[in-house]
Structure 1
């Protein structure tokens, strides 16, 4: 995957052509695939925004007034703005182009990510960004506060053990059922894996050396959102989850390549890997088959459900984090806090 030129390093007279090509290759190989995709989306958005707002292309380095206008256009709902408001007119054009969903105020995290990408493009070009100037920096801080909102959960509900069992009960006997059973159990029991981690797994990442004797399967993740390549510890699957994964490998005849793959309507296993969106569709499909609303949970429910169940079962948070690979104790603690407060005897004072 080769990124667009604006977020590749700019050729320098001090570098030979060979060195510049090596630097470009280093940027591509050293940037996670998810980050490259985010860069591409953000570059498309800011390019379109400036074209509509100012009628010009991006500048390198960008002008301070453009950076400030970008911040001012985003920390407010534009539904109530006058029809000739330039921010509203720009937003409506971006909506028509499919680059913005609505006139509502975007989440602060979305604005932060786009600015962070824009900053990264400047660094790659060895340029100073306008987002570091005092006025723009302060405006960004105020915009973050003005647009603050309670964080929305990534999944409407956690997929706790009882919900997971309902989903697994819909997986009966086809190859698709075997794949989905293995995917759901691995995604949940190995610590609550993210979609990109599930789709990135290869057959060679799975070790079956201890399966016959101990019913244990070892999983090696190349990298995660919180760990770099080579730093991710091996994860373990036991019992039913290990058996489900081994059964899928046998039924799907997975000898090498992607671990989880699409399956044709004729129940034939294809060679390519599943996309992250396919994981979303699988969870949605299994919820519907289980008689639950399709929006009951998202794939992140596997992750939140694992931690919630660990809290319900009294597992130490440090043990759960060893599998979930949460870097922040505070982030993981949120799931434990939800359980703790529900079981707090002080909540039963008036019944």
Structure 2
């Protein structure tokens, strides 16, 4: 069999047997096209010819090529794809040894989440003030996202029934895992006003849908709509920082920890499967403490 035939077999496996999404399969196809082209360039036409040294050379090639240089995260993703491909070859009996067993991606630099200050969040939310239908919806949306730390996908996938007793919301996260998150008084007020005064108007413009947040034509609000709503609010608030839906999630976690919340409570609220993922926010608050100390303590400088 050729390398191309093995790649096709792997792609069928992940698409049909593992049921991965079309986007994920497409990403695997792109990564393996680069790998197969490099193998062909090296005169390797059969996966049984690949050795650990071959894969090390491929990793070096990816990290040093001048055309279309990869970021560290893209390089790590591509090598992960190649490892998955070789594990598949071993499972299928195409090779006797997994040559990629010791292949490791580069260590990624720690990237701290970008959060904005409490004052900036207040300005952003104030920029959605208004009594018209769009303003009431936008206020409810942003207040809920900041109150719960919801991902943008979680917010747009909310249904009316997911708002429980006005002060609790049920979010469905990655892997269809559900979690219950409380709503603060500001979010409760904004969501209540939207449900009573705005959503019925929007709902009348489209087909019946259980979606909580609706677009101007009555359909479920899209992720792109949320981006535009937040960007417009940030412009009205004259914020000089880049704002995205995830900014509110980062700010939610950072502000909770800065206020003394336990990291494991924040983990549950964010829906992280591991506390290690949440602990990166403790670095943000530690950096904030250092900055305040450096500018405030008479012997800090």
CA-CA distance at 1:166 after TM superposition = 0.9
- Tell me what 1:327 maps to: 273
3-state secondary structure, aligned to 1:144: coil
- Tell me what 2:4 maps to: none
3-state secondary structure, aligned to 1:188: helix
CA contact (8 A) 1:43 1:117 kept: no
Is residue 2:126 matched to residue 1:173? Answer: no
RMSD: 3.8
- Tell me what 2:142 maps to: 184
CA-CA distance at 1:121 after TM superposition = 5.4
- Mapped partners of 1:71, 1:118: distance in 2: 10
Is residue 2:217 matched to residue 1:269? Answer: yes
Is residue 2:205 matched to residue 1:219? Answer: no
- Tell me what 2:18 maps to: 27
Is residue 2:22 matched to residue 1:72? Answer: no
Q: Name structure 1 gaps, 5 residues minimum.
A: 11-22, 79-87, 92-101
CA-CA distance at 1:118 after TM superposition = 4.4
CA contact (8 A) 1:185 1:241 kept: yes
Alignment of 1:291-310 (within 5 A): 291-293=238-240, 295-310=241-256
Is residue 2:111 matched to residue 1:152? Answer: yes
- Mapped partners of 1:67, 1:331: distance in 2: 30
- Tell me what 1:350 maps to: 300
3-state secondary structure, aligned to 1:234: strand
- Mapped partners of 2:93, 2:250: distance in 1: 40
Q: Name structure 2 gaps, 5 residues minimum.
A: 1-7
3-state secondary structure, aligned to 1:74: helix
Closer, same or farther: CA 285–153 of 1 in aligned 2, 3 Å: farther
Closer, same or farther: CA 111–318 of 1 in aligned 2, 3 Å: same
Q: Deviation per CA, 1:245-285: give whole Å up to 9, x if none.
A: 23333412356343334x3xxxx33424403x443333322
Closer, same or farther: CA 319–114 of 1 in aligned 2, 3 Å: same
- Mapped partners of 1:326, 1:160: distance in 2: 23
Q: TM-score scaled by structure 2? A: 0.73
3-state secondary structure, aligned to 2:111: coil
How many residues get paired? 277
Alignment of 1:61-210 (within 5 A): 64=50, 67=55, 70-76=58-64, 78=65, 88=66, 91=67, 102-103=68-69, 105-107=70-72, 109-120=73-84, 126-127=91-92, 133-134=98-99, 136-138=100-102, 140-141=103-104, 144-145=106-107, 148=108, 150-154=109-113, 157-171=114-128, 172-190=130-148, 192-204=149-161, 206-208=162-164, 210=165
Closer, same or farther: CA 302–68 of 1 in aligned 2, 3 Å: same
CA-CA distance at 1:6 after TM superposition = 5.0
- Tell me what 1:287 maps to: 234
Closer, same or farther: CA 63–338 of 1 in aligned 2, 3 Å: same
- Mapped partners of 2:9, 2:94: distance in 1: 17
3-state secondary structure, aligned to 1:233: strand
Q: TM-score scaled by structure 1? A: 0.64
- Mapped partners of 1:282, 1:51: distance in 2: 43
3-state secondary structure, aligned to 2:279: helix
Greater helix proportion: 2
CA-CA distance at 1:112 after TM superposition = 2.5
CA contact (8 A) 1:7 1:120 kept: no
- Mapped partners of 1:129, 1:181: distance in 2: 57
- Tell me what 1:9 maps to: 13
CA-CA distance at 1:290 after TM superposition = 1.0
- Mapped partners of 2:182, 2:35: distance in 1: 46
CA-CA distance at 1:300 after TM superposition = 2.0
- Mapped partners of 1:310, 1:339: distance in 2: 10
3-state secondary structure, aligned to 2:63: coil
